[in-house]
């Protein structure tokens, strides 16, 4: 199917010229970032191979993919899936991509694996919540850096991440539309920027609908230093009718915590989450989840890496991946309740 999709197909679909599509897919100037994102998303949906094997990647031999080792365990293949897509892209371009798993200690001590330095790697992808120290250490060595699913105002590096603020807002709006007005949040919204943004998006929706923001309903159930989720947290009393969980894995532990209390989802408490991983599909009842395309993460991250390698003095850019809502069975519809219609 992919062979039958051309740049002209994409151009006709969006209503732009073929030249514009070519510029967008090859990271050339003359296209706004919003239009570039729309074109890339359309190309992915149509099955067009955005990155073609015959492109010129001369001078790019090895690229590192660094991820905190615990993230591969606790984030349900989110980062390993992005790595798989990047691996496909690099293989087609005859580039070696190697994954490095680093401990938090190695991150904080800014220990870049010696192989990356000794073998003159062309660049580094940092995936997930990483230490600013190790990112700055790489930048100080003039290594091209692209951050995946992470960004920080103090880092001068290109980044590709979900629009976390909008995702949090979208999750809350979905619950509100289903009649929920007492909504909680699960995730380390204090220490992790991505989680903070999702929590702020939720709060924006509550504010817009004139609903209360009850601090007792905001639960931190993970340790940002280890990335491990546990059942060692207390449920608020009284319980909200719904929770927004930072990720599907956190939702799984909330399911378990509620089950131990003799409560069920969604009859007693509704849950919506993020990432749309295998956990969301395999848990009972299946979990409503919001996600960004891992393939699009990989495509955009690779394009930015190539651009940074070829244009090392280019100004760092932040790319936000659009998100999608997948509705399943974890949210109860309370909109038929009599007091729902009186909501401001």
Tens digit of pLDDT for each residue in 219-233?
A: 987 665 555 567 788
Q: Is the pLDDT of residue 271 over 80?
A: yes
pTM confidence score: 0.79
Residue-level pLDDT at 332: 97
Tens digit of pLDDT for each residue in 66-81?
A: 998 877 666 668 898 8
Q: For residue 22, is it left (φ>0), alpha (ψ between -120 and 50) or beta?
A: alpha
Residue-level pLDDT at 227: 52
What's the rounded mean pLDDT across residues 189-213?
94
What's the rounded mean pLDDT across residues 38-56?
73
Best CATH choice for the domain 2-46 from the list 1.10.760.10, 1.10.260.40, 3.40.1500.10, 1.10.1740.10:
1.10.260.40
Residue-level pLDDT at 76: 63
Residue-level pLDDT at 23: 80
Q: How many CA atoms lie within 13 A of 296 on its CB side?
A: 23
Residue-level pLDDT at 296: 92
Give the class (CATH, top level) of 164-291+327-342: alpha beta
Residues near 94 by Cβ (< 8 Å), separated by ≥ 6? 57
**Identical fold between 62-162+300-323 and 164-291+327-342:** yes
Q: Is the pLDDT of residue 28 over 80?
A: no
Strand partners, 209: none
Burial of 322 (0-12, 13-18, 19+ CB in 10 A): middle
Q: pLDDT band at 37, cuts 50/70/90? A: confident
Look over the chain and give the mean of its residue pLDDT values, rounded to a whole number: 88
Best CATH choice for the domain 62-162+300-323 from the list 3.40.50.720, 3.40.50.300, 3.40.50.2300, 3.90.1420.10:
3.40.50.2300
Q: How far, in Å, CA of 199 to CA of 128, rounded?
A: 18
Strand partners, 219: 186
Tens digit of pLDDT for each residue in 84-142?
A: 989 988 887 889 999 999 987 888 898 899 999 999 999 999 999 888 999 999 999 99
Tens digit of pLDDT for each residue in 312-343?
A: 999 999 999 999 999 999 999 998 765 555 55
Q: Break the chain into its structural domains and give their ranges.
A: 2-46, 62-162+300-323, 164-291+327-342
Q: Is the pLDDT of residue 203 over 70?
A: yes
Q: Is the pLDDT of residue 285 over 80?
A: yes
Strand (E) positions, 188-287? 218-219, 242-245, 270-274
């Amino acid at each position: 199917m992919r062979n039958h999709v051309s740049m002209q197909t994409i151009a006709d679909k969006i209503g732009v010229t073929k030249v514009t599509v070519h510029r967008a897919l090859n990271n050339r100037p003359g296209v706004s970032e919003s239009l570039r994102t729309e074109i890339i998303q359309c190309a992915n949906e149509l099955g067009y191979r955005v990155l073609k094997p015959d492109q010129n990647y001369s001078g790019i031999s090895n690229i590192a993919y660094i991820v905190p080792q615990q993230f591969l365990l606790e984030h349900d293949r989110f980062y390993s899936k992005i790595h798989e897509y990047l691996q496909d892209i690099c293989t087609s371009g005859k580039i070696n991509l190697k994954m490095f798993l680093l401990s938090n200690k190695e991150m904080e001590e800014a220990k870049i694996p010696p192989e990356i330095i000794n073998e003159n790697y062309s660049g580094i992808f940092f995936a997930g919540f990483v230490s600013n120290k190790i990112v700055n250490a790489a930048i100080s060595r003039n290594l091209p850096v692209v951050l995946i699913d992470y960004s920080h105002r103090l880092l001068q590096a290109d980044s590709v991440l979900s629009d976390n603020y909008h995702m949090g807002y979208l999750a809350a709006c979905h619950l509100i539309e289903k009649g929920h007005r007492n909504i909680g949040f699960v995730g380390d919204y204090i220490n992790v920027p991505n989680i903070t943004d999702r929590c702020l998006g939720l709060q924006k929706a509550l504010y817009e609908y004139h609903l209360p923001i009850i601090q007792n309903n905001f639960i931190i159930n993970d340790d940002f230093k280890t990335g491990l989720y546990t059942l060692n947290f207390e449920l608020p009393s009284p319980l909200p009718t719904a929770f927004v969980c930072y990720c599907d894995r956190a939702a799984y532990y909330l399911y378990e915590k509620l089950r131990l209390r003799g409560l069920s989802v969604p009859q007693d408490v509704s849950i919506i989450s993020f990432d749309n991983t295998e956990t969301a599909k395999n848990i009972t009842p299946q979990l409503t989840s919001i996600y960004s395309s891992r393939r699009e993460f990989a495509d955009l991250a690779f394009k930015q890496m190539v651009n940074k390698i070829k244009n090392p003095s280019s100004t760092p850019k932040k790319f936000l991946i659009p998100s999608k809502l997948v509705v399943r069975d974890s949210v109860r519809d309370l909109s038929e309740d009599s007091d729902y219609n009186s909501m401001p």
